[in-house]
Structure formats: C-alpha cells, structure tokens
C-alpha cells in the first residue's frame, strides 16, 4: 500500500526519490550505529588518545622550558621533530637504514625462533636432553646479549654477522623457555588419549603436542621480538656502520636532538609492525582457539 498525504481536495503521493533517500538514510544510520561499527570506531580512535595526550604534554613542557626533576629546556619540540622527520623521509639513506635494521632483525629472529622451538621441543619431550641441556641454558641465559659485542668483534669477520648473532642470542632464550613451559603445561590426558586411539610417537607430537603448545610458544615469540629489537639497536649503536640504531647514535653525536627522536620513533614503528606480524601469524596458526577472534 502506498502512503498518501491529503491537503484539502489535493492528494499528494510521496516521490520515489524521497523514499529512496529515506531508505538510504536508514541504512547509513544502521551502519554507523551498529555494534561492529562502534567497535571499529573505538579501535581507531582509542589508540590515538594516549598519543595525543603525550604529544600535548610534550608540547606544553617544551614550550615553557620546564626544569624540575626532569629538564625539558633542551628537549626538541614536537614541531621540530616533525620537521626533521619530513626531511628524513625524503632521503634515500633513511630507508637504507630501515631496511638494514629490518633485515638484521628478521634474520636473527627467524634463526632464533627455529632453533629455540626445536631445542624447546627436544628438552620438553626428552628427559635425557633436559638433564643434559637445561643447566647449560640456565647458565648462559642471564648473560646480556649486548655484553657479547666485544666477543663478536673478535669472532666474526664483519660487524654485520656479529649484529645478527647478537640478535639471535637475545631472541633464542624467550622462544626456548616458552616452548619448554608450553610443553610442561600440556595436560597428560591429551597424549594418553591419542596413544589409546593408536597414535604413534611422531603422530602425537605433530597432531597433539605441537598444536597444544603453540599458544605458549607464540607468547614467547612476541617477547623475543621485543628483546631482539632492543639488542639489535644497541649493537648498531656500538659497532654498526648503518641501521636505524646507528643513525640515532650518530644524530646524538652531532647534537641533532630532533634526529634522535626521529630514530626513536622509527624504532617504535618498526617494532610495532614486526610485533603485529607475529601476532597475526599466531592468530592464523591458533585459529582453532575460541578466543582468537577477539
């Protein structure tokens, strides 16, 4: 039935275009007021709130040259940092430094992830390997990776290989220890049930143990990525010839304080991107978990 509007003896029928506009308006309103739309808006806006508060506080403290427990009279302003960042992103050397650091972190972290998970599975599944290797791991693990810089200079023919080794050394222990603990925390009934149904040793390892341990393993890999970034940047500052850590330290030596902050922001952006990749990979691998969709 078509609605009509009566004005005296004149009957006015709403036009099709007005009905179409009204329908589109309702659809648009539902899209923007639906729970999923509100969730997307919150996911976009909320991460910007602490950043905006931090930048505003930074601006106020540097504008007024506040000197208290901390001294902000020598700190660069957000405007000067933005100007330095814009100048830096237009130069090819900036991307060479980013690529060098990214290559080092991916190579060192990748080797550490493979070796750490393999050793963790071996120690977690074999009592002989646990008795043999676990004491050595606990002796070496507390050594700071950055303390190995003098030895890497003596051992490796190039600083590039030494920086990759330091990254590897820093990242392997979080991956290794998390894998061991993930193995130990698996319910024994899972393995017993698989063996009861006729599964062999390798089948139990591949289809029961590893899938059950993967959430704990990826938690360790996330920690390993953060530790690896700390150590690769520190190694670049000490013995590197290029890389974002080397750029940051060089800017400090030249009293280019906005450049130092640009280096810090670049390190944070790279760390965020690599951590996001690890998290996304973990969600993809652990998609069978009921909470992976959050």
Tens digits of residue pLDDT in 99-146 = 999 999 999 999 999 999 999 999 988 889 999 999 999 999 999 988
Does residue 248 contact residue 237 with C-beta atoms inside 8 Å? yes
Residue-wise pLDDT tens digits, 204-262: 888 888 888 888 999 999 999 999 999 999 888 887 788 999 999 999 988 899 999 99
pLDDT tens profile 46-70: 888 999 999 999 999 998 888 888 8
Q: How far apart are the C-alpha atoms of 53 and 60, rounded to whole Å?
A: 11
Distance CA 160, CA 242 (A): 10
Percent of the residues in the chain that have a pLDDT greater than 70, as a whole number? 86
* Tens-place pLDDT, residues 153-188: 888 888 889 999 999 999 999 999 999 999 888 888
CA distance 171 to 159: 18
- Note the pLDDT of residue 110: 95
pLDDT of residue 22: 59
Residue 81, token pair as written in the block: 């940092």
């Amino acid at each position: 039935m078509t609605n009509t509007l009566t004005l005296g003896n004149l009957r006015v029928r709403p036009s099709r275009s007005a009905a179409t506009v009204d329908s589109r308006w309702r659809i648009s309103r539902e899209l923007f007021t639906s729970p999923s739309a509100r969730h997307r808006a919150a996911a976009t806006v909320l991460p910007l709130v602490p950043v905006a508060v931090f930048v505003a506080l930074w601006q106020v403290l540097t504008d007024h040259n506040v000197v208290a427990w901390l001294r902000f009279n020598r700190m660069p302003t957000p405007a000067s940092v933005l100007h330095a960042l814009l100048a830096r992103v237009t130069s090819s050397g900036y991307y060479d430094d980013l690529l060098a650091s990214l290559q080092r972190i991916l190579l060192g972290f990748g080797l550490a992830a493979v070796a750490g998970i393999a050793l963790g599975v071996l120690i977690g599944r074999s009592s002989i390997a646990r008795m043999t290797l676990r004491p050595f791991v606990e002796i070496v693990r507390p050594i700071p990776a950055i303390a190995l810089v003098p030895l890497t200079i003596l051992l490796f023919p190039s600083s590039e290989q030494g920086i990759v080794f330091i990254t590897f050394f820093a990242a392997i222990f979080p991956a290794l220890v998390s894998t061991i603990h993930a193995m130990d925390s698996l319910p024994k009934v899972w393995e017993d049930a698989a063996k009861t149904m006729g599964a062999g040793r390798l089948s139990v390892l591949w289809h029961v143990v590893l899938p059950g341990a993967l959430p704990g393993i990826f938690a360790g890999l996330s920690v390993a990525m953060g530790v690896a970034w700390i150590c690769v940047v520190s190694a670049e500052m000490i013995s590197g010839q290029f890389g974002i850590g080397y750029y940051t330290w060089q800017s400090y030596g030249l009293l280019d304080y906005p450049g130092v902050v640009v280096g810090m922001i670049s390190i944070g952006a790279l760390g965020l991107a690599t951590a996001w990749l690890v998290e996304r990979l973990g969600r993809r691998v652990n998609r069978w978990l009921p909470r992976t969709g959050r």
